[in-house]
Amino acid sequence: MIVYKFGGASIATPERMQALLPIIKEAQHEVVVVVSAMGKTTNELEEIVQAACNNKAHAHELAHALESKHLDYASQILSPENYSEAKQILAPFFTELQWAIDDADRARFDYSYDQIVCIGELLSTRIFSLFLAQENLINTWIDARALIRTDDTWRDARVDVAFTTAQVKVQLTPLLGSGQRVITQGFIGATDNNQSVTLGREGSDYTAALLASMLGATSVSIWKDVSGLRNADPKLFPDTVQIPDITYHEVIEMAYYGAQVIHPKTIKPLHNAGIPLYVKCFLDRTERGTIIHANDTQIAYPPIIVWKREQVLLQVTTLDFSFITEDALSFLYDTFARLKVRVNMIQNAAISFIACLDNRPEKIEAVIKALSPTYKIRRNEDVSLLTIRHYTPEILFGMTMNKTILLEQKTRNTVQVVMM
């Protein structure tokens, strides 16, 4: 039993989807295929969410364009008969999208986001499943919302592992045993009220890892448009190098600091179950790619650079000059935890506390509201957080020389800088 995950780039066009056939054919029959939304669909859906909260007519226009795009894609890859079947199969999702737009509301932004954004994966997997069937690759399409049960932390839902494992055993194991491939969505799930949720951007990797650990898979392969993990994002830096082998630990650190390579929650289930993760290139399936595993004997890493943008630095100072004691710290942490705000870096001094947070305006507002009775708050927007693992002084200097450094922290292995 193996798990394959295909990201948005691998199915961005009908030609790309077509080109995945040999990969699926060569895989053993017992395979769970986890698929993202096509190309940049999730970004487009995010725009629809914004519009749905401001201007519903515009949101419906955008939704209509998204619908045409998917139908056009399906018509290119499916025979006329299969295409007319696809139109019927996809119609309920377009309706679901219309309803979610009508129901969307700024006061419940994150909730509305999940109801709208989940549609991308539902559409892409349906089309993919029909295409594979057309090519005689027998498969069963599963709505991941019937498998992945979560809480209602919208846009970052926490999976109920016990419940989900039971569902996976009941629904997937028999199918795989009878030689059916399973096609399902990454990134989405549902609460016990059947409300859709998402697991955080790039969450399909996490879905693949969860399903693999629950099914006892022998490996997970993530198929990307690059030939493996690199030491920095090639879209941001010119001279990157490939990393052929890397430990779970190193990858979890990279992802945690914001590398967009793999969803941060992906590694834990794989590590706990001892399942290796292959990062492979769908453009050349013969390339070895990167292997992520437990064995850390003598891997010499290059400096690994993660640049996380859209950050906000909050400086919180006591109004009455009282110290930031352990009690105050525990209140501050408790506030972040209660408001489900992710803190990327912190530092405290006598009467102030500094936190670097993802720029999620509604969450930042909630934090400010909760803290302002006791603290004066200053914020710097548009800052970025640079993390370098295995850094050298030269690399650090090169990357920060023309910037204003607002905060810097170093350990033996890692340096982090908040800068603008």
Return residues touching ligand ASP (CB under 6 A).
7-8, 36-37, 42, 120, 186-187, 201-204
Comparing CB distances to Mg ion, the nearer of 36 and 221 is 36
Residue 235: CB atoms within 10 Å: 7
Query: What is the DSSP track for 354-370?
Result: EEEEE--HHHHHHHHHH
Return the structure tokens found at 45. 């859906």
Lookup result for tokens 């994150």: 110
Binding-site partner at residue 48 among ligand ASP, Mg ion, none, CB < 5 to 8 Å by type:
none
Q: How far is the CB of 385 from ligand ASP (least distance, A)?
A: 20
Comparing CB distances to Mg ion, the nearer of 306 and 328 is 306
Query: What is the DSSP track for 177-191?
Result: HTT-EEEEESSEEE-
Q: How far is the CB of 37 from ligand ASP (least distance, A)?
A: 4
State the residues that interact with Mg ion by CB under 5 A.
Answer: 7-8, 36
Q: How far is the CB of 105 from ligand ASP (least distance, A)?
A: 23
E strands along 186-336, which residues?
A: 188-190, 196-198, 219-224, 245-247, 277-281, 290-293, 304-318
Q: How far is the CB of 141 from ligand ASP (least distance, A)?
A: 17
Binding-site partner at residue 37 among Mg ion, ligand ASP, none, CB < 5 to 8 Å by type:
ligand ASP
Q: How far is the CB of 208 from ligand ASP (least distance, A)?
A: 9
Comparing CB distances to ligand ASP, the nearer of 183 and 419 is 183
Tell me if residue 142 falls in helix, strand or coil: strand
Q: How far is the CB of 411 from ligand ASP (least distance, A)?
A: 30
Comparing CB distances to Mg ion, the nearer of 5 and 389 is 5
Comparing CB distances to ligand ASP, the nearer of 157 and 383 is 157
Binding-site partner at residue 203 among Mg ion, ligand ASP, none, CB < 5 to 8 Å by type:
ligand ASP
Name the residue among 186, 202, 113 with its Cα closest to residue 144. Answer: 186
Amino acid, single-letter form, for residue 238: P
Comparing CB distances to ligand ASP, the nearer of 203 and 228 is 203
Give the 3-state secondary structure percentages of the chain, helix then strand then coil, rounded to 5: 45, 25, 30
Query: What is the DSSP track for 309-321?
Result: EEEEEEEEEETT-
Binding-site partner at residue 221 among Mg ion, ligand ASP, none, CB < 5 to 8 Å by type:
none
